[in-house]
A and B are shown apart, each in its own frame.
Chain A
Amino acid sequence: MFGRILFRSMAKHKGRVALAVVSIIVGVSIASALVSVSSGIEEKIAAEFKAYGANILIVPKSETLQVQIGSINYGSVTEQKYINESDLSALSSLGTTTYEGKIVNVTDRILGYAPYFYTVVGIKGQNAVFVGTNFSSVRRISPWWSVNGTWANGDSDAMIGRVVSEKLGLSIGDSFTVYHNDTKQEHSRSFTVSGIVSTGSSEDEQVFANLGVAQAIAGKPGSISVVQVSANCLKCPIEVITERMQEKLPYAEVRSVKQIAAAEMLLLGKIQSLLVLIAAIGLAASVMGVMSTMTASVLERIKEIGIMKAVGASRKDVTMLIGAEALIVGAVGGMLGYVAGAVLASFIGQQVFGTTIPLNLIAIPISGGVAILVAIIASIIPIRRAVNIQPAIVLRGE
């Protein structure tokens, strides 16, 4: 019977119901589109940020070198010119920390890290910086490296910088051997050039091989000179991450490339607060729209409601009838609003940001929830009016 009353009355007042649904669609589509755009550009910036590369550097503490006073070397106590390779596993288990009362999963923020070991070698009678690293890690955190040929893979593969290649006359497929300047030994292994690197920066003057091979040449197994870390830190102060790393690697120095992060964070924050403001205005307009149509609908139905109260409907009955209508309006408006919002988001993405906004599945429950919330808030006043209708006044003979 409840369903019959509800649906018959909604069918009778289709126009108003449709108007209320449209109000919800407008508000929810604007809100969900802006949320999608906002999270879309956040992802975009995160991706660009990642492409930008490492934003944290871990180097051995250099103070050790300055602790030398006179002939006494105090530095020997803390001296550690390398980071122990075995300690790097700590970077994969940084755990969580709290920042401003929120739990931050620091481990999840680490997009990748690449260890580097530097040593100087002689190749064809000339000095060159020989760098041992982990190529798959480099590819992850330094995607801008442009490589002619292929990335190095096996222990006998090497990649050489563009400048080195010109200076030494080495091209892809050529082989060379290295003479280690410190140990004064010609290394037995012969390397084959698999690719030529050009980055427009120091890499162009370096020679790259697998980490273990470079460490072996220098006779320093397990030693790391520098670690580059790429962390996703758009909305957290990067200190949250660096402090955590510093705790795990107390003998090293963890530095952040803070400025980049801060600038991006600031801009994104501004755009997002603007979007949130517009979304809030949209939802407020939606509440007003639904409230006015529902109030009009209650006024139009004063008589029916009065009759129902006269024949025994309680306040709760009236509240449920109108509340159920609001919930249906909210649910339908929310679903359609989500669809309209997805269309709107892709339009805004194309027109304003020149990028495609990915379909955001989380927006479905959010749109639904927001729509129902809007409907409930909007129906408070109309429901009050309805429950306070006095049957005696409504039923007065005219």
Chain B
Amino acid sequence: MKKAIEWANEAKRAVEQRPIITVHDVVKKYSESVFALNGVSLNVKKGDWLTIVGPSGSGKTTLMNMLGGLDRPTSGSLVVDGTDITKLNEQELTKFRRERFGYIFQQFHLVPYLSALENAMLAQYFKNKKSNGQDNAAKALETVGLGHRLGHVPGQLSGGEQQRVAIARALVNKPEILFADEPTGNLDQKTGMEIMGLLAKLNAEGRTIVMITHDEKIAQFGSRMIKMVDGKVVKEWRKVSPLRGL
């Protein structure tokens, strides 16, 4: 049974093998001497789950901020679904981000004085001021298993619960791509695995995921993996799938 689902997903992926993100020769200089990214090129295909590994300070977060439109590269191009996001102005980029991207951070980054429900509503509110969004947000919290904690503020929630709220917030606008920077970095192993299970489910539903991690076990969840060192991609794997093995 499980195998059948995997096969079906692989088949779906094969159909969707066009790149949703194309990165070409991206350089990010923070100052004259600090090259956080030193000419990165890569593709992410629709439905892919790309994991980025590498030592601390190798430029993983910087790369993800570029991919996710949270920051701009010094040079190079970043094409997402046909749009070069380096050419968008701030307003267009903000709009692009909130419509297509969801983010999950190591530190959760919830707004401390808003309840779980309100935090989840936030992304939707900024996208569309007129929609109330309460039902959608409640549903997203339900999906991540927090239907019973809607009124709690972050301070009243465990780390795992906070990360679930963050995932619900990331999902609420139904983004095509989820970016996760060490989503399990602040969680114990068991909770981390639960979160990964959640992400696996979202990936199985067809959502593209770009995830940074330190943890080799966690990295195994991805369908593709790149390793960064000193602002460069030094190694790249594709998980050998049963389908491709044939």
Contacts and interface: CB of A to CB of B under 8 A. Distances in A.
Interface of A: 1-2, 4-5, 8-9, 11-12, 303-304, 306-315, 317, 390-393, 395-398
A308 B91 CA distance: 14
25 contacts: A1-B122, A1-B125, A1-B129, A2-B125, A2-B129, A5-B122, A303-B109, A304-B111, A307-B109, A308-B126, A310-B70, A310-B103, A311-B98, A311-B122, A311-B123, A311-B169, A312-B97, A312-B98, A312-B127, A312-B173, A313-B94, A315-B90, A392-B65, A396-B61, A397-B182
Contacts of A308: 111, 122, 126
Contacts of B61: 396-397
Contact of A390 (B71, B173, B182): B71
Interface stretch (B43-51, B112-120, B231-239): B112-120
Given A5-B114, A311-B126, A392-B71, A397 B94 contact: no
Nearest to B98: A312
Contacts of A303: 109
Contacts of B110: 307
A9 B113 contact: yes
Best-buried of B91, B107, B110, B111 by chain A (most CB within 10 Å): B111
Given A1-B121, A4-B118, A397-B61, A312 B112 contact: no
A304 B112 contact: yes
Contacts of B132: 1
B243 to A, nearest CB: 36
Contacts of B106: 397
The 7 closest A-B pairs by CB, nearest first: A312-B98, A392-B71, A312-B126, A311-B123, A392-B70, A392-B65, A8-B113
Contacts of A392: 65, 70-71
B54 interface: no
A304 B127 CA distance: 17
A304 B119 CA distance: 11
A11 B112 CA distance: 12
Contacts of B65: 392
A395 B125 CA distance: 20
Contacts of A1: 118, 121-122, 125, 129, 132-133
Contact of B114 (A8, A314, A317, A391): A8
Nearest to A306: B109
Contacts of A2: 125, 129
Contacts of B185: 397
B126 A317 contact: yes
Given A1-B121, A12-B112, A397-B61, A309 B181 contact: no
Nearest to B107: A397
Nearest to B127: A312
Nearest to B108: A307
Given A1-B121, A310-B70, A312-B97, A395 B126 contact: no
Nearest to A309: B94
Given A312-B97, A317-B126, 12 more contacts: A5-B111, A5-B118, A12-B113, A307-B109, A312-B123, A314-B126, A315-B91, A315-B94, A391-B70, A395-B70, A397-B61, A397-B182
Best-buried of A5, A11, A393 by chain B (most CB within 10 Å): A5
Nearest to B111: A304
A311 B90 CA distance: 14
Contacts of B133: 1
Given A1-B118, A1-B133, A392-B65, A313 B126 contact: yes
Contacts of A11: 113
A397 B60 CA distance: 11
B78 to A, nearest CB: 14
Nearest to B99: A312
Contacts of B125: 1-2
A12 B133 CA distance: 24
A188 to B, nearest CB: 92
Interface in B64-119: 65, 70-71, 90-91, 94-95, 97-98, 103, 105-107, 109-114, 118
A323 to B, nearest CB: 16
A289 to B, nearest CB: 25
B3 to A, nearest CB: 37
